Structure 1
Amino acid sequence: MKQFLYLVCLMIISIFSNYLQASDRIAVINLYDILQKLPEKNNLIKKIDNEFKTRANALKLQENKLRDKIKTFNRDKSIMKLTEKKHLENDINKQQNLFSAKSQVFERDKRRRQVEERNKILIKIQKAIKKVAKIHNYNIVIDSKAITYMSHIKNITKEVLKNVN
Structure 2
Amino acid sequence: MSYFNVRVYGLLINSQNEVLLSDENEFGRNFTKFPGGGLELGEGLIDALKREFIEECNAEIEVTGHFYTTDFYEKSSFNDSQVISIYYLVKETHPLQLPFKTKVFDFDKDVSQSFRWVNINNINENDVTFKTDKAVVSLLKKSIT
- TM-score band w.r.t. shorter chain: under 0.3
- Computing the radius of gyration from Cα coordinates, the structure with the larger value is 1
More helix by share: 1
- TM-score, with structure 1 as normaliser: 0.18
